[in-house]
């Protein structure tokens, strides 16, 4: 079972999200609370995934996210909010969020997103992706010089990472060992000067559509 904590200041939202996630059959909501309760709740319940609202009274979601990311073994955190401004998206990703979802996400897509997060992937609502990358503009932009510094296999791995694939999914699609994929991801983070795979994915999208990069 995938263990999830929902952090939101509205009880109705907590209840609705809990019902949606439990309908998946393989997800257990082990706790709900607001920003004040969040860190203690998460430390007690040890979830795999945290869905975290941004705008909450007293303690906001970004503050909670920073405290969680400072822990030795933090859970995977995705923002789940009604706010899709560039400022919030940028701050959340820089603080280590593994996803950014909007509350109007289709229930089945939300269940799938939690599964993807639990497997080590990243996930973004379509509206957020459009804000991160203007696909048409990126298609007209030449690839930056750093792309040429990647090996063909590193391009393959980064392309799949940018699609939100977990290490296990990348290994399966490229017919590589899981350890090899982890090594490639580690090298990519160093080459891109990225703090985590989410930042690497954002950098990859900004470089241009990954299908332009070719396959090794």
69 Cβ neighbours under 8 A, 6+ residues apart? 77, 95, 96
Q: How many residues does the chain have?
A: 216
- Token duo for residue 131: 């804000």
Of the listed ranges 15-19, 50-54, 75-79, 150-154, the least confidently predicted one is: 150-154
User: What are 65-109's pLDDT values in tens digits?
Assistant: 999 988 888 999 999 999 877 778 888 888 889 999 999 999 999
For residue 60, the number of C-alpha atoms closer than 13 Å in the C-beta half-sphere is 9
3-state helix, strand, coil in the chain (%, to 5): 55, 15, 30
147 vs 16, which has greater pLDDT?
A: 16
All structural domains of the chain, each given as residue ranges with its CATH number in brackets, are 2-133 (3.40.50.2300), 145-212 (1.10.10.10)
Q: What are phi and psi of 16, to 5 degrees?
A: -65, -45
Say whether pTM exceeds 0.75.
no
């Amino acid at each position: 079972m995938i263990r999830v904590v929902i952090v939101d200041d509205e009880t109705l939202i907590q209840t609705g999200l809990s019902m949606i996630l439990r309908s998946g059959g393989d997800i257990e909501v082990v706790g709900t609370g607001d920003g004040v309760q969040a860190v203690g709740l998460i430390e007690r319940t040890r979830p795999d995934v945290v869905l975290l609202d941004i705008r909450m009274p007293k303690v906001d979601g970004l503050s909670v996210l920073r405290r969680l990311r400072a822990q030795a073994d933090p859970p995977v955190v995705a923002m789940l909010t009604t706010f899709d401004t560039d400022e919030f998206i940028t701050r959340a990703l820089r603080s280590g969020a593994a996803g950014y979802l909007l509350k109007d996400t289709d229930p089945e897509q939300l269940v799938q997103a939690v599964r993807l997060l639990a497997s080590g992937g990243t996930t973004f609502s379509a509206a957020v992706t459009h804000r991160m990358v203007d696909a048409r503009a990126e298609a007209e932009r030449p690839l930056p010089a750093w792309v040429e510094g990647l090996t063909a296999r590193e391009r393959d791995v980064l392309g799949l990472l940018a699609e939100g694939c977990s290490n296990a999914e990348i290994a399966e699609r490229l017919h590589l060992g899981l350890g090899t994929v982890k090594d490639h991801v580690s090298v990519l983070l160093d080459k891109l000067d990225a703090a985590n795979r989410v930042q690497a994915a954002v950098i990859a999208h900004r470089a241009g559509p990954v299908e332009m990069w070719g396959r090794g």
